Structure 1
Amino acid sequence: MNIDRIVMAFAGFVIMLSLLLSQIYHPYWLFLTAFVGLNLFQAAFTGLCPLAMILKKIGSKSGAAFS
C-alpha cells in the first residue's frame, strides 16, 4: 500500500472512531473529527501532511499525492 492510501485509510479510521467516541462518551470527540478534516483540507492545497512525512521516513512507497 502506498502513502496516499495509508493516509486516507488512517483519516477514515480516526474520523469513524471519533464519531463513535462522541456518541458513547462526550461530544467533544467531534473536535478530533474537525482536526482530521482540516488537516486533509490543508494537505490538499499545501501537500504537507504530518502522517505522510512520518510514513516516508519509515520507508513506505510514495503515491501520486505525497511524493
Structure 2
Amino acid sequence: MVIVTDCPKMKNFSQGELSTPRLEHMHLTRDEDGELQWEGDLYTTIKHMFDQMNMQNSQAIEVTDQLLQLE
C-alpha cells in the first residue's frame, strides 16, 4: 500500500526507477468525483495528481488576487 497525503511542496516522488507490477490503480481521496485514476505507472500517476492540485491552487490564487484588486 502506498499512501501520499498533504505534500504540496513535493517535486519528485522518486529519483530512481519504480517497479510496481501488481499495482493496478490508485484511489485519490481528494478527487471530488471519487473516481479511480491510473496514468500507467505510479510515478506518472502521482505527478499528474500533484500537477492537477497545483493548477487548482494557482487558479484559486489568481481569483483571490483579482478580488483583492477590486477592493
Q: Taking CA–CA contacts closer than 8 Å with sequence separation of 6 or more, which of the two structures ends up with the larger relative contact order? A: 1
Same fold by TM-score greater than 0.5: no
The structure with the largest strand share of the pair is 2
> Which has more radius of gyration?
2
| Bigger share in helix | 1
TM-score, with length taken from structure 1: 0.35
TM value normalised by structure 2: 0.33
